[in-house]
Amino acid sequence: MRHWIQEVRNFIYSYHFSTGLRTTISVVVPSVVCSMLGNLPLGIVISLGALATALSDVPGTAIHKRNGTLIAIGFIWFTAITTSLIMPYPVLMTFYILACCFMNSMLLIYGNRGGNIGIACMLVMVSILGEKAVPPYEAVIHSLYILLGAVWYGLLALLLWQIRPYLSVQQMLSECITETADYLLARARFYEQSAGDKIEKIYKDVLAQQVVVSEKQEAVRELLLKRRSHQEGTTSINKALVLIFLDMVDLQEQIMAAQTDYHALHESFDGAGVLDKFHTLILEFAGELKIIGEAVAAGQRSLPKANLRYEIVKVQTAVDDIRKTLPTVKERSRLLVLSNILHNLADMAQRIYNLHRLTRLERVKDEIIDPRLQLSSFTNHGQYDAETFFNNLTFQSHIFRHALRVSLAAVTGYVIGQLLHLDRIYWILLTIVVILKPGFSITKARSYQRIYGTVAGALFAAVILFFTMNNTVIFIFMLLCILGAYSFMTHQYTLSVFFVTPFVIFLLHFLHPAHFYNVGWRVMDTTIGGTIAFFANLLLWPSWEKNTLPSHMIKMVKSNANYFEQVMHMYTQEPFVVNDYKLARKDSNVSAANLMSAFQRMLSEPKSKQKNGSQVYHFVVVNNSIVSHIAALANYGTTHNGVRFQQPEYKLLSNNLQAYFSCILEMLERPWEKVAAPPATVEAFETLDMKLEAMYQKRQEEVNNGQGDTVLRQEILEVKQVRDQLHAVMSLLKDMKKTLEQNN
């Protein structure tokens, strides 16, 4: 029960709920005011303009938010007046729908804001088609009312933004922290007693959650760091949010750095009972992150609930008890993997305590954002010009093909509606416009979700209308449905559709009382629209993920090679630039998320359109493991202020591994060519192994003489840690190369 209450509380503090509440207010107020004045239809028209502008509103800097709102208002009004004037002429309207849907769908090339403006304009066009044709004078007046609604929402949104300018950033950062906690929970399952037989299943869940975390990080990065670089955030709140985000990205790297061979881990320690203690400890870490996420969303201070340092000491004691049963230094080296995980958790604990501290604004005043970081370099700088538009007018552009699909599908729906003399043609078009997405898998999922949500929502509306005809009760249900529809629109699409359907049915009940008549037509028209959208995406120049996977794989290898190169600068006495290292880390994480997302989408496509599914998944897993080992090297180098015991072999190994990266990259870029392979054996590893063996022998003498923590012991720990990580990267690169050779 307590967990359920907490989930509800988190949702109320979330970005989704605040957006839904803002949209609901902007939509309901004009309708209520006009209804009190005895003209509800006029209120509905004004609310349409507010709703369309709300759909086009996405978080951003003050300049982007203002300019985006003004552009949306202009586009919405132009769409409203042209649709109203052309609607009396069905033949002309057919060509207009074709042009309007194509142009607005092409706006997706300008990112989410452009895509949302395009959907908002198509919504206005579709909604006007649901009304009766009017003379030109009335059409102009009608469009002005829509403009009034659009301006009303724009003023409301900008006013609320001025009152709480950091609300959206806090909410999105909170979601990022919460998803990172869920990622940690997913990784904690590796340490469950019964995990030995479920490693692959757990790994799939971890990779899926890693994609979510990467997407949340990118959303926060674009919103928060752009504000900072535009000099819009110089307050303590902004500074605290930036510091929290930077710490969260570093924490994500530390979590990934704990990657190890979990099969070997369970084989070695399942009988010792120590892995359960690690599992419980990691759950405590995730719980602390959840607390921090809730505090950031609510704008409150957070206090630690668990004593993480004490919990780490308890687990360390259990590891020490095992060490006492192992007589030789070499046997005790088996425990290095557990010690490394504990050291990593200790560093993470310090970072989590720092995150708690950063939620207290008075503690932020003396903090300094690393001056070596050029925050503007971590954000994308989109091109909003005509050249970008014209460059995408080619079948090579998936947005261009998507725009053609939307326009042709919408025209098909309109023509079918005209031929069958359907009353609610706009429901068909609305379904097509909302469902159709550039990728087949998303459209397929949306089609099912919309049909399920519509049927369930229609049944819910039918039950309400069956049991009551009290307009006050129906209006209250309609308000709740509006709030639910817009709160879940970007979070849970099926739930959003479930709420949208009764909202529309209740609205039509007030405008044109027909009771159950609207329920049946809503389901039928949605089914028609969903079917058209599904087959349009299947037959009209579909974008199959198997065609995009090679480019994602190439980007993944390039970004990993660059990430590895930047990290190895700490081990090869080359200049180490923090900004370049963190940029490389960001690119690696984004590339990994894009590759995994594309792979997941491919799995939902028809079997005939899937290619080398198991090999691609293996490639994804291997790459993720490589990133984890690079992260371990990075984490060791940054948390220990560099490498104490430099070895000349590190440079040789770095060069050889880069040669492997280059070899794999050539195999991906030119699969038809035979690529010369790097040396199969590396003498530097043999040299390091010989050095370690000599160190073990000397260390055994120290232990026999009763010496504790010596410089030699520290050197053994460092050299073995670096050697093991480099050897793991080498093994994974060989595995990847072998997989590509088999596919070719």
Reported as a single tens digit per residue, the pLDDT across 385-426 is 677 778 888 887 878 888 898 899 889 888 888 887 776 777
Contacts 24+ apart (CB under 8 A), 20-24: 20/483, 20/484, 20/485, 20/486, 20/487, 20/488, 20/489, 21/483, 21/487, 22/54, 22/156, 22/157, 22/160, 23/51, 23/54, 23/482, 23/486, 24/479, 24/482, 24/483, 24/486
Kindly state the tokens that stand for 275. Answer: 């892995």
**Tens of pLDDT along 58-78?**
776 667 778 888 888 999 999
Average pLDDT over residues 258-283: 82
pLDDT, tens digit, 9 for 90 and up, residues 511-522: 555 555 556 666
pLDDT of residue 284: 92
Residue 144's pLDDT is what?
Answer: 92
> What was the pLDDT predicted at 676?
67
Of residues 424 and 114, more confidently modeled: 114
Give 187-221 as a DSSP string. HHGGGSTTGGG-HHHHHHHHHHHHHHHHHHHHHHI
Q: Are 402 and 543 in contact (CB under 8 A)?
A: yes
Question: What phi, psi does 88 have (nearest 5°)?
Answer: -65, -10
Residues whose CB is less than 8 angstroms from the CB of residue 695 and which lie 6 or more positions away in sequence, other chains included: 712, 715, 716, 719
Give me the torsion for CA of 211, 217, 221, 223, rounded to 10°: 100
15-36 vs 167-188: helix crossing angle, rounded to 10: 140
Tell whether the model's pLDDT for residue 151 goes beyond 90: yes
Residues 191-225 have pLDDT tens digits of 887 776 788 888 888 888 888 888 888 888 877 77
Q: Is the pLDDT of residue 371 over 50?
A: yes
Q: What share of the chain is helix, strand, coil (3-state, %, to 5)?
A: 80, 0, 20
- Classify the phi-psi angles of 155: left when phi > 0, otherwise alpha if psi is within -120 to 50, otherwise beta: alpha
The mean per-residue pLDDT over the stretch 560-573 comes to 88
Give the separation between CA 302 and CA 291, rounded to whole angstroms.
Answer: 7
Between CA 689 and CA 188 the distance in angstroms is: 32
Q: Above 50 in pLDDT, residue 231? A: no
Question: How many CB atoms lie under 10 A from the CB of residue 244?
Answer: 23
C-beta separation of 314 from 695 below 8 A: no
Specify the residue for token string 């089609």. Answer: 447
Compute the chain's Rg from CA coordinates.
29
Q: Residues 425, 428, 431, 433: what is their CA dihedral angle, to the nearest 10 degrees?
A: -70
Over residues 468-473, the mean pLDDT reads: 76
pLDDT of residue 193: 79
Asked if 361 contacts 240 with a C-beta cutoff of 8 angstroms, the reply is: yes
Q: Is 708 a residue whose pLDDT tops 80?
A: no
DSSP for 49-76 reads HHHHHHHT-----HHHHHHHHHHHHHHH
Contacts of 582 (CB under 8 A, 6+ apart): 249, 373, 378
Helices (DSSP H) in 363-439: which residue ranges? 386-391, 398-419, 425-435
- Rounded to 10 degrees, the C-alpha dihedral 553/555/561/567 comes to -120
Alpha helices per DSSP H over 130-273 = 136-163, 167-188, 199-220, 226-229, 236-257, 262-269
- pLDDT given for residue 629 in this prediction: 87
Please state whether 326 falls in left (phi above 0), alpha (psi between -120 and 50) or beta: beta
Q: Provide mean pLDDT across the span 703-716.
A: 76
Percent of the residues in the chain that have a pLDDT greater than 70, as a whole number: 85
State yes or no: pLDDT of 232 exceeds 50: no
Interval 446-457 mean pLDDT: 74
Name the band, by pLDDT with cuts 50, 70 and 90, for residue 607: confident
What is the per-residue pLDDT for 394? 83
* Cα–Cα distance list, 368 to 251, 283, 326 (Å): 18, 31, 46
Find the helix packing angle between 111-129 and 62-86, rounded to 10°.
30
What is the model's pLDDT at position 547? Answer: 75
CA distance 401 to 405: 6
- Tens digits of residue pLDDT in 671-701: 777 766 676 656 777 787 788 778 878 877 7
Q: pLDDT tens, 331-350?
A: 666 677 788 888 888 888 99
Burial of 366 (0-12, 13-18, 19+ CB in 10 A): exposed
Tokens of 633: 């090297």
Helix or strand holding residue 331 (H, E):
helix 329-332
Cβ atoms of 292 and 177 within 8 Å: the answer is yes
Domains of the chain: 1-163 (no CATH), 168-374 (1.20.58), 386-540 (no CATH), 545-743 (1.20.58)
Q: Which residue has the higher pLDDT, 708 or 229?
A: 708
Say how far apart CA 529 and CA 508 lie, in whole Å: 20
pLDDT at 182: 92
Looking at the predicted structure, is the pLDDT value of residue 496 above 50? yes
Instruction: List the structure tokens of 188.
Output: 């904690």
CA distance 450 to 457: 10
Q: What is the arithmetic mean of pLDDT over 217-236?
A: 68
Three-state DSSP class for 131? coil
> In the predicted model, what is the mean pLDDT of the chain?
80
Query: Which pLDDT does position 148 carry in this prediction?
Result: 92
pLDDT value of residue 180 = 92
Say which residues have a Cβ less than 8 Å from residue 741's Cβ, sequence separation at least 6. Answer: 667
What is the DSSP code string of 70-99? HHHHHHHHHHHHHHHHHTT-HHHHHHHHHH
- Alpha-carbon span 632 to 150, nearest angstrom: 51
